[in-house]
Amino acid sequence: MIRRLLTIAGGAMLAGAATLAFAAPAHAAVVDVPFGPLSIGDYCHSRYSTSWIGFYESSGLRCYTGSGAPLQYVGSGDPYLACKYLTTDVVMSAFRGSSDALVCRVIR
């Protein structure tokens, strides 16, 4: 009787361990995803219909319009919200990258 209980208990523990092994979540990774002027422009266009390009300058994320030089300033945007608009990943933060790019730190 005791041997039978130990066998059943051992089988239940093995089944539980197997379930946990298959149900374990995937490991998340923190990744920096850069976006250039035209991608930022997609976000800008969602805010300002005449805007089609954007840069993350030292003064912040800025949206522009125009077909030639100089570009005309239309308005500003929020870098974090731009990241939320541009990616479906979980956004941790946004910062300025090289060449006035927007870099989104995300969890994948």
Across 14-23, 30-39, 63-72, 80-89, least confident range: 14-23
Q: Which residues contact 34 (CB under 8 A, 6 or more apart)?
A: 97, 101, 102, 103, 104
Give the global pTM.
Answer: 0.74
* Owner of token pair 């731009």: 82
**What is the per-residue pLDDT for 68?**
75
pLDDT tens-place string over residues 45-85: 999 999 999 999 999 999 999 877 899 999 999 999 999 99
pLDDT tens-place string over residues 96-108: 999 999 999 999 9
- Per the CB < 8 A criterion, the answer to whether 81 and 100 are in contact is no
The closest of 7, 67, 75, 12 to 47, measured between CA atoms, is 75
Task: State both tokens at 30.
Answer: 């923190």
- Per the CB < 8 A criterion, the answer to whether 9 and 1 are in contact is no
- Give the percent of the chain with pLDDT over 70: 77
